Amino acid sequence: AQRVTQPEKLLSVFKGAPVELKCNYSYSGSPELFWYVQYSRQRLQLLLRHISRESIKGFTADLNKGETSFHLKKPFAQEEDSAMYYCALSNFGNEKLTFGTGTRLTIIP
Amino acid sequence: EAGVTQSPTHLIKTRGQQATLRCSPISGHTSVYWYQQALGLGLQFLLWYDEGEERNRGNFPPRFSGRQFPNYSSELNVNALELEDSALYLCASSPDRYQPQHFGDGTRLSIL
């Protein structure tokens, strides 16, 4: 069965410090990995997906198949990064997307 | 563009009753997805509809069902409600199975 684990429920980081949100997965095969974000009073939205290999709002994530991880990173945290972040996995595109339980990131001014 | 709209915002039912939740996708989107977010759990995939057909479903009992109408709107039906069905139900839509999903605000279902 496919599973996504986000070990940190809460993460607090000072403004300007590096951010790393952890995501580990279990899946037999080649998954597609995503990061979704929900800002305060906004809807859940896609932040990035590994196949696009792009940086969104300064965030990047590298798929490490050996460690089955897809950690989200940003070198310098900004206050507007405070949000709930969900890692997600699918076997193909949007099909049967499996989400982790999320990490609430708080940026301390 | 108008986003994904869900109705009602809140729904209160008692055990054994039936609930119907509705979702209108973004214009031009043919795929509609339903998720359940119970307290303390991540979003769990429920159902995926595309072009009026159920394409896939998650690990939920048959009393969770739904349909997609010709205008691509969708409804989720939950029969024989149980206390553990209390959750936020999110709907999402996308132009196809590959494009990013756009989420609605959800319907909070409370079972008394």
Q: Is A99 in contact with B103 (Cβ distance < 8 A)?
A: no
Nearest CB to A43; choose among B56, B96, B105: B105
Nearest CB to A43; choose among B48, B55, B104: B104
Peptide bond into B8 cis (omega under 30): yes
Amino acid at A44: L
B70 touches chain A (CB under 8 A): no
Nearest CA in chain A to B105: A43
Q: Is A43 in contact with B3 (Cβ distance < 8 A)?
A: yes
Under 8 Å between Cβ of B106 and B88: yes
pLDDT in tens, B69-110: 999 999 999 999 999 999 999 999 999 888 889 999 999 999
Give the pLDDT score at B22: 98
Q: Is B98 in contact with A4 (Cβ distance < 8 A)?
A: no
Q: Is A49 in contact with B45 (Cβ distance < 8 A)?
A: no
Percentage of residues in chain B with pLDDT exceeding 90? 89
Interface-testing mutation among A35, A94, A104, with chain B (most B C-beta atoms within 10 A): A94
Give the pLDDT score at A65: 87
CA dihedral B101, B46, A44, B20 (to 10 degrees): 110
Residues 6+ apart with CB under 8 A from B63: B78, B79, B80
pLDDT in tens, A34-78: 999 999 999 999 999 887 777 789 999 988 989 999 999 999 999
Nearest CA in chain B to A87: B42
